A = this chain, B = another copy of it.
Amino acid sequence: MKIGIIGLGLIGGSLGLELRDHGHTILGVSRKESTCQQAIERGIVDESNISLQLLSNADIVFICTPIGLIIPILEQLIYHLKPETIVTDVGSVKMPIVEQGSRLWDKFIGGHPMAGSAEQGIDAAQKNLFKDSPYVITPTQNNLSKDVETLKTIVNELGAKIYTCTSENHDYATAWISHLPVMISASLINACLAEEENLTFKLAQALASSGFRDTSRVGGGNPELGIMMAQYNQKALLRSLSEYRKQLDQIINLVENKDWKRLGYLLEKTKQGRIDFL
């Protein structure tokens, strides 16, 4: 198949590397001439260009830009495509993207590969990035099942675990396990930074070990990603934040009231709950 990829960063680049190996012809579009050049040199794409024109013959196109650019790009892209081309994206929020994307192109199918790395850009592109990771596909009732199957076949070649659900359910579920942790973790960093004037700040810094490191990791991640999560998934995130705050208040109350017995029950529950959950 002729597979188009727009945005040749970590995700787009890794998609190219993997799918080219499966015998597909990869057409890569990047805003930067130098990235196009690199993509060809690294064997990520067969052809590369800064113009969307390159994709006029593609069978399927993956939009792998930052989430805020997906719809603006799609608005331009549709003037270049043949009518049977399937378009998908890799944005981490699905409801607003699928709603607008479907209106622009009836063969638009939302997608979200839940794989990543701390590194970004084409230099970070790698084989096996998607292997054994979840890849969520969020078709609507207006998508043809043969198009959904085509997308699934390609995703399958990545070695990813495919989950199919509505974009609403995707956004609700990821609010809990992905977007909420970012806000929780950022609050921890901020709470510690607020102590900077305190004499023990430097000691706390010196003693910070794996517990602090792990709990603060996602809160110290890419700020653009954090804003996007909040902006595009505001409702579900607020709901999870409000439930979280309730749980936090419960712990604060138990500690205030020295109710060690109930705090014990609660921590037993979280210990077992985490094992069951993961």
A26 CA to B218 CA, complexed, in Å: 43
A214 sits at the interface (CB 8 A): yes
Q: Give the distance in Å from the alpha carbon of A234 to the alpha carbon of B251 in the complex.
A: 12
CB of A133 closer than 8 Å to a CB of B:
yes
B267 touching A207 by the CB < 8 A rule? no
A174 lies within 8 A of chain B by Cβ:
yes
Residues A271 and B207 in contact, CB atoms below 8 Å apart: no
CB atoms of B247 and A234 under 8 A apart: no
Say whether A80 faces chain B, with CB atoms less than 8 Å apart.
no
Number of interface residues of A (CB under 8 A): 93
- CB-contacts of A216-253 with B (<8 A): 216-224, 226-227, 230-231, 234, 237-238, 240-252
Instruction: Report whether over half of chain A's contact residues are helix, strand or loop; otherwise say mixed.
Output: helix
Number of copies: 2
A223 and B268 form a contact (CB under 8 A)? yes
Q: Does A256 sit within 8 A of B, measured CB to CB?
A: yes
A residues 175-227 in Cβ contact with B at 8 Å: 176-178, 180-195, 198-200, 203-209, 211-224, 226-227
Asked whether any CB of chain B lies closer than 8 Å to the CB of A40, the reply is no
A269 within 8 A of B: yes
Contact of A247 among B190, B203, B214 (CB under 8 A): B190
Cα(A178)–Cα(B203), bound, Å: 12
Interchain Cβ contacts under 8 Å between A and B, 6 examples: A134-B209, A161-B206, A163-B207, A169-B199, A186-B266, A245-B248
Pairs of residues from A and B, 8 with the lowest C-beta to C-beta distance, nearest first: A220-B274, A223-B267, A181-B215, A173-B204, A189-B270, A191-B244, A190-B247, A187-B247
